[in-house]
Structure 1
Amino acid sequence: MSSSNQFALLKSRRFAPFFWTQALGAFNDNVFKNALVIMAVFQIAAHDPARAASYTNMAAALFIAPFLLFSATSGQLSDKYDKARLAQLVKLFEIGIMVVALFGFLAKSIPLLMTLLFLMGLHSTLFGPLKYGLLPQVLDSRELVGGNGLIEMATFLAILLGQVLGAELISFPDHGTWMVGAACITTALIGLACALRIPPVPAPDPQLKINWNPFSETWNNLGYIRGNRAVLLSCLGISWFWFFGSVFITQLPTYAQNVIGGNAAVYTFLLTLFSLGIGIGSLLCERLSGHKVEIGLVPFGSIGMTLFGADLYFAKPDASGALGLTVAALLQQPWIWRVLIDLLLMAVFSGFFIVPLFALIQTRSDPARRSRVIAANNILNSLFMVVAAGLSTVLLNVAGLSIPQLLLTTALLNAVVAIYIYCLVPEFLMRFLSWILVNTLYRIKLEGLDRIPEEGPALLVCNHVSYMDALIIGGSVRRPVRFVMYYKIFNIPLLSFIFRTAKAIPIAGYKEDPQLLAKAFDEVDQELAEGNVVCIFPEGGLTKDGEIAEFKSGVEKILERRPVPVVPLALRGLWGSIFSRRDSALGRSRLPRRFWSRIGLAAAAPVPPEQASADYLEAQVRALRGADA
């Protein structure tokens, strides 16, 4: 059953065992990786900077290489087999790696440990498509954003805690290697125990034939996303997030030491702040989106990432001149609070950016290929991270940029990339503007919107109360909606941009413009033929008295050409707003008299096309609206 609180999912067996399994896996990855890097850099190659740098770069390359090589194979396995069973096998693999790792740490064998790091990257590669492919199978649509938010929050906190623990344990004199090995084995065993409690998750495509050639299958996987524009751009958006985030995270140690003059504890403090910010943003997505996939948060997130990322440069453009400051000493510097606020809010807005994109991919991908789509996304993520590392090296070492200048450049690039994506897929920007307008003015109670079919054509019919009706419906219904609206409303300044971006269909009366009327009917038929959702207001105009006017016969003409299910909708509480005609009817000026007022949008069960006469649909909408206009 659907839960209204995302934290309630942590008590549910369909989610909780999987949540802890993936969190413990991310935690163990980073305990192992950070302990290895610190042992190699600070113990084995302490007096050889060139050798230390090569170990660091080798570790990063070996961990990310499996994502490029084996994500395509991993996606096939997750689509073909029970994901719970796969998770258990991956955990057994992890235990084997960690048992051998104990001997590698004791012997301080860098070649062995680097090989095992590659295998841990393979472990994460196998778990990635499984993780995001499983969520839509065990959560309903109202839980998906909250579930993704919890997963993102747990992943970043697990990475943070793993890095901290790995660094602390390996630093213990004499017993550090034992402690790291024991911690990794223990964590892997607990992860297996959690995985064994994951209920079976049916395979979406059990007849799939595995293509073991990683190169041809990688190309096939990329083809799955090329054919779906919204999914492709969402994958590119997520990959850009990893480009953006990897630049900031990679430069954070140097920024902490050379720019703000902090010691190692200051770096840990900044990393903690950044991880907490992403966790907070990820969790807030559910509340801000109203328990649905709200892609309007994506532009909101990118705006915050750009503004606060750029302000990080202006907060501290030059090195402080200090060296080895503790956290307490740093907090006494007057300029540090602006830096900390920028870093925190940039991370919070990053959470707003990433969570809806993952949810969008999950909901708009073919269920039988969902894990392979996510595998393609992982491949793109890895490529973008490699490019980020290369570009950072060029800008720092060849172009001569300072660390703050590099971060400013990345923030400005974020604005350019965001504008480009929103030009390619205007739906993102349209939903953002709708979300801002509607959630500033209203508190919406939604009822029965899950009755709107998830797939295939459908016609929505609704009472028409205000100029905001289309924005409210479009911002509340999870599927993209094509609106048919009176051409004079369609041409209202500012709103016209949103309506055009949403591909609304202007219509006029026969006496006003018969050609526009005929064109509108043709466009409606074409949209329904393509399997889309169309919404009409059968009254033909805004109500003048708050009551529902007679439904015109246009709805019947639409259904004669294209019989599709009809879903009655009813708007409540909008009569009397500045965007309704109440003030005009009362002969007074239109002024805003209340903000954030309570309104409602309700949906009835779909009506078969053979029963959907104008009179019947009007009665349905009247009953659904009740006495509240």
Structure 2
Amino acid sequence: MSEHKDLRPRLYADTAFWGMTATQLFGAFNDNLFKQLMLLLAVPVGVGSVFEQDQQGLGTIVFSLPFVLFSGYAGFLADRFSKQPIIVLAKVVEIGVMLLGLGAFLCYAQTGYTGLLVVLFLMGTQSAFFGPPKYGILPEMLRTEDLPRANGILVMTTFLAIIFGTAAAGLLGDAFLDPDTPLELTAHRMWIGSAFCIGIAVVGTVTSLLVRWVPPAQADLRFRWSALTMPPESRRVLRQDPPLLMAILATCVFWLVSGVAIQAINSLGLVQLGVGKLKTSIMTAIIGLGIALGAVLAGKMCRGRANPRVVKIGAWGLVLLFVLLALSRPGGVHVLGYAGSLVALVLTGIAAGFFAIPVQVLIQARPPDGLKGRMIAVMNQTNFFAIMMSGFVYYGFDWIVEGMGWPRSAIFAMMAVLLLPVAACYRLPDEA
């Protein structure tokens, strides 16, 4: 095994790693462009709004549900077969989903918002099958000492894609959709953006061919219905490895709060600050810039191991920054305003990167080799269950804010309370 590792290319000279990075980047761009556009359409602003009440939670639930339903089976496939062809096949499917997205906008007058929700569900399904091989292939394809830097680069480029994809959604929304005109009369204009997404999916499929083939982690693995939830082997590993279990639970809370954060930022920008779709999307995207910076810094600070101090800095940073973003003056005037919120959101992203990277390294490194794909699937399944629940949590927070007459920024204070137990109690093991 050591000889095999010694023969692997070094990270920065590894074409397969850069192919995987580019593939993930293009996929994240498409996911976030379409998802952010759906969320913007769900916020009631102007007479052209689809809904009378904020329905961002619905889009979040629809996109997350496939991860809850299919991540277990996706993890089984990632361990039973070579991860490389699954990655390529998932990218081919993405092209088909983007074609359906084009059709959903062209036929919006007939299919309405429901047609877009169907496409969003299919996008989530494609991503659910892409996730386990994408993350599971890294420890099989790369040197162990390169994993923290590789994860940092992958997360950095992913969130750069989120920045551009989210900002592009706002740009398209402001360019082609008029808030004072019913969506049925303007949605067909979005075919231009959908056609661009199809091109991005094609390029991502080409870059996926650069990913190096790896042998199946467990070629004799048989399918069991328990794979659709959590296989017995995964439950056994989690029972025997409390630090791994706590890491997965910590990421659940992190992604629950993150899911609420995206919806809260959209609501803050469109409703309380009133800055329009493009500037609101820049607010949502700018947090990705911070995460990209935080991911790279965390990768360097970890130095080949999961560093508990970095996690603590990240968790407390998130709590304090959420409190800062929550502050409003009497009359609902936001203390930070638009420019101040941008700075705070960059710092929030950096703190999120500090928290996420060391925990992700631990989850990738601790499971046995034959279980890595299924354990990544468990992580995906639980994380996206948390993101799905964030849709319901956001509905609850929205109900409280509306009922109490509080400004939209008050949701950030509730998010700080949610994350406080993790910041106060969770600690990564020193030997991680």
Q: How high is the TM-score relative to the length of structure 2?
A: 0.84
Q: Is 1:342 aligned to 2:344, yes or no?
A: yes
Structure 1: distance between partners of 2:336 and 2:75: 50
2:88: which partner in 1? 88
* Structure 2 SS opposite 1:49: coil
* C-alpha contact (below 8 Å) 1:66/1:125 kept by paired residues: yes
Q: Aligned-pair distance for 1:143?
A: 1.2
Give per-residue Cα distances to partners, 1:560-600, cap 9 Å, x unaligned: xxxxxxxxxxxxxxxxxxxxxxxxxxxxxxxxxxxxxxxxx
Tell me: CA distance 1:2–1:224, structure 2 relative to 1, closer, same or farther (3 Å).
closer
* C-alpha contact (below 8 Å) 2:78/2:132 kept by paired residues: yes
Q: Is 1:187 aligned to 2:200, yes or no?
A: yes
Structure 1: distance between partners of 2:118 and 2:194: 16
* C-alpha contact (below 8 Å) 2:39/2:59 kept by paired residues: yes
- Structure 1 letter corresponding to 2:176: F
1:23-172 matches, cutoff 5 A: 23-35=25-37, 46=48, 49-50=51-52, 53=54, 56-108=56-108, 109-110=111-112, 111-169=114-172, 171-172=175-176
1:380: which partner in 2? 382
* C-alpha contact (below 8 Å) 2:272/2:407 kept by paired residues: no
Tell me: CA distance 1:293–1:25, structure 2 relative to 1, closer, same or farther (3 Å).
same
Q: Is 1:311 aligned to 2:313, yes or no?
A: no
Q: Aligned-pair distance for 1:391?
A: 3.0
Tell me: CA distance 1:152–1:366, structure 2 relative to 1, closer, same or farther (3 Å).
same
Tell me: CA distance 1:47–1:402, structure 2 relative to 1, closer, same or farther (3 Å).
closer
- Structure 1 letter corresponding to 2:202: L
- Structure 2 letter corresponding to 1:227: Q
1:552-563 matches, cutoff 5 A: none
Bigger relative contact order, structure 1 or 2 (CA pairs below 8 A, ≥6 apart): 2
Q: Aligned-pair distance for 1:417?
A: 2.4
* C-alpha contact (below 8 Å) 1:318/1:404 kept by paired residues: no
Larger Rg: 1
Tell me: CA distance 1:47–1:233, structure 2 relative to 1, closer, same or farther (3 Å).
closer
1:302: which partner in 2? 315
* C-alpha contact (below 8 Å) 2:28/2:158 kept by paired residues: yes
Tell me: CA distance 1:318–1:373, structure 2 relative to 1, closer, same or farther (3 Å).
farther
* Structure 2 SS opposite 1:210: coil
* C-alpha contact (below 8 Å) 2:252/2:386 kept by paired residues: yes
Q: Aligned-pair distance for 1:162?
A: 1.7
Q: Is 1:244 aligned to 2:249, yes or no?
A: no
2:412 equivalent among 396, 407, 415: 407
Q: Aligned-pair distance for 1:148?
A: 0.7
Q: Structure 1: any 5+ residue segments left out of the alignment?
A: 323-332, 432-478, 481-629
2:182: which partner in 1? none
* C-alpha contact (below 8 Å) 1:144/1:293 kept by paired residues: no
2:222 equivalent among 188, 209, 215: 209
Q: Is 1:199 aligned to 2:204, yes or no?
A: no
Structure 2: distance between partners of 1:38 and 1:344: 21
- Structure 2 letter corresponding to 1:95: I
Tell me: CA distance 1:197–1:409, structure 2 relative to 1, closer, same or farther (3 Å).
same
Structure 2: distance between partners of 1:101 and 1:248: 26
Q: Aligned-pair distance for 1:222?
A: 4.7
Give per-residue Cα distances to partners, 1:6-54, cap 9 Å, x unaligned: xx846521201111111111111223334456678899x925534x755
Structure 2: distance between partners of 1:255 and 1:38: 12
Tell me: CA distance 1:73–1:319, structure 2 relative to 1, closer, same or farther (3 Å).
farther
1:270 equivalent among 264, 275, 283: 283
Structure 2: distance between partners of 1:40 and 1:261: 15
- Structure 1 letter corresponding to 2:356: I
Q: Percent same amino acid at aligned positions?
A: 27
2:14: which partner in 1? 12
- Structure 2 letter corresponding to 1:310: V
Q: Aligned-pair distance for 1:402?
A: 4.1
2:24 equivalent among 15, 22, 25: 22
Structure 2: distance between partners of 1:273 and 1:32: 17
Structure 2: distance between partners of 1:107 and 1:367: 47
* C-alpha contact (below 8 Å) 1:72/1:221 kept by paired residues: no
Q: Aligned-pair distance for 1:223?
A: 4.9
* C-alpha contact (below 8 Å) 1:152/1:279 kept by paired residues: yes
* C-alpha contact (below 8 Å) 1:225/1:373 kept by paired residues: no
1:390 equivalent among 385, 389, 392: 392
Q: Aligned-pair distance for 1:357?
A: 0.5
Q: Structure 2: any 5+ residue segments left out of the alignment?
A: 178-185
Tell me: CA distance 1:317–1:292, structure 2 relative to 1, closer, same or farther (3 Å).
farther
Q: Aligned-pair distance for 1:370?
A: 0.8
- Structure 2 letter corresponding to 1:397: W
Q: Aligned-pair distance for 1:313?
A: 3.0
Q: Aligned-pair distance for 1:409?
A: 2.9
Residue-pair matches, total:
410
Q: Aligned-pair distance for 1:79?
A: 0.8
Q: Aligned-pair distance for 1:150?
A: 1.3
From the two aligned structures, give the one with the greater strand fraction: 1
Q: Aligned-pair distance for 1:122?
A: 0.7
1:370 equivalent among 362, 369, 372: 372
* Structure 1 SS opposite 2:99: helix
Q: Aligned-pair distance for 1:284?
A: 0.6
Q: Aligned-pair distance for 1:208?
A: 0.6
Structure 2: distance between partners of 1:128 and 1:82: 14
Q: Aligned-pair distance for 1:334?
A: 8.0
* Structure 2 SS opposite 1:64: helix
Give per-residue Cα distances to partners, 1:56-98, cap 9 Å, x unaligned: 5443222111111010000111111111111111112112222
1:456: which partner in 2? none
